[in-house]
């Protein structure tokens, strides 16, 4: 399971963050780092990660009797189509692992290359928060995977802890977090409209393909994938926004005088 294998690595990010924060460049950049903010993000992510890891490691698999008592009719009609025998194809694993390298593309242009240490820390926060949140939700919800409802799935595969962590899709969530983070960062440096459209289109499509494959392999229900996509995309988009240097004078106040009285005007610049 992705969360189990990656959690220790994600938690180490908190320890490695301080040198990057202190060494950030002062050149013109759309993003900045702040020790207090980074400590809060990394600390919260680490705490949630430990809690999630504890829950999932202590998760008990279903017994044979519990598996035999499962009824596909109890699954809502929207999700029921995902029920089927387990498929152990690795296509979605390959796509997910490949996505981990996407932020290396920041080395391709000078602007993002100059900011690479800063962007690397932000990327670490994306991985930590996305992986940790997914782990704790899986550990709390304990949702049975679709293939467990199928009599064609070997009982050995139906009675594992991995069979009880369907909600929400970690593959979809983590890949969406990575692609949306990469797209948001890149388009903060690139002004060409066509290039921005291509980047965002690719960022949206890539995790959608992974999510589709997770449903086709009966590893996840459609709702697992939908929620995973939304949560991951939200994290990937919001982390850069939290680090974005705001324009000066975003808010301006103006007094207005009229024959019949006066007033106060507020202008907001985006």
Select from 123, 139, 121, 122 the least CA-distant residue to 48: 139
Q: How confident is the model at residue 254 (pLDDT cuts 50, 70, 90)?
A: low
pLDDT of residue 27: 63
- In degrees and rounded to multiples of 5, residue 259 shows phi and psi of -60, -35
- Looking at the predicted structure, is the pLDDT value of residue 9 above 90? no
The structural domain count of the chain equals: 1
Provide the pLDDT confidence category of residue 252 given band limits of 50, 70 and 90.
very low
Q: What is the pLDDT of residues 112-164, one digit of tens each?
A: 999 999 999 999 999 999 999 999 999 999 999 999 999 999 999 999 999 99
> Which residues in 145-250 belong to E strands, given as ranges?
none
- When pLDDT is averaged across residues 206-211 and rounded to a whole number, the result is 98
What stretch of H or E contains 263?
A: strand 261-268
Which of 9-18, 159-168, 248-257 holds the top average pLDDT? 159-168
Domain extent, residue 250, equals 2-268
Distances (CA, A) of 150 to 20, 53, 146, 218: 49, 28, 7, 9
Is pLDDT at 268 greater than 60 in this prediction? Answer: no
Asked if 129 contacts 47 with a C-beta cutoff of 8 angstroms, the reply is no
pLDDT tens-digit readout, 70-86: 999 999 999 999 999 99
Residues in Cβ contact with 217 at an 8 Å cutoff, skipping those fewer than 6 apart: 86, 87, 88, 89, 92
């Amino acid at each position: 399971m992705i969360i189990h294998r990656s959690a220790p690595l994600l938690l180490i990010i908190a320890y490695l963050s301080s040198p990057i924060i202190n060494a950030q460049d002062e050149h013109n950049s759309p993003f900045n780092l702040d020790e207090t903010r980074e400590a809060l993000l990394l600390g919260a992510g680490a705490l949630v990660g430990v809690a999630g890891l504890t829950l999932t490691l202590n998760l008990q698999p279903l017994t044979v009797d519990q598996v035999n008592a499962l009824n596909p009719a109890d699954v809502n009609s929207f999700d029921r189509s995902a029920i089927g025998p387990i498929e152990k194809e690795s296509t979605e694993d390959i796509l997910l692992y490949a996505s981990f390298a996407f932020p290396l593309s920041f080395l391709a242009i000078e602007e993002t290359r100059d900011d690479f240490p800063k962007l690397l820390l932000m990327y670490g926060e994306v991985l930590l928060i996305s992986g940790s949140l997914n782990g704790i939700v899986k550990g709390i919800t304990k949702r049975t995977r679709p293939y467990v409802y199928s009599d064609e799935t070997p009982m050995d595969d139906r009675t594992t802890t991995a069979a009880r962590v369907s909600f929400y899709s970690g593959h979809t969530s983590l890949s969406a977090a990575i692609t949306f983070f990469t797209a948001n960062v890149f388009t903060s440096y690139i002004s060409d409209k066509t290039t921005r459209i291509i980047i965002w289109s690719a960022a949206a499509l890539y995790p959608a393909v992974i999510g589709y494959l997770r449903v086709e392999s009966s590893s996840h229900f459609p709702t697992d994938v939908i929620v995973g996509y939304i949560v991951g995309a939200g994290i990937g988009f919001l982390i850069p926004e939290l680090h974005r240097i705001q324009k000066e004078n975003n808010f301006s106040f103006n007094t207005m005088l009229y024959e019949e009285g006066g007033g106060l005007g507020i202008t907001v610049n985006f």
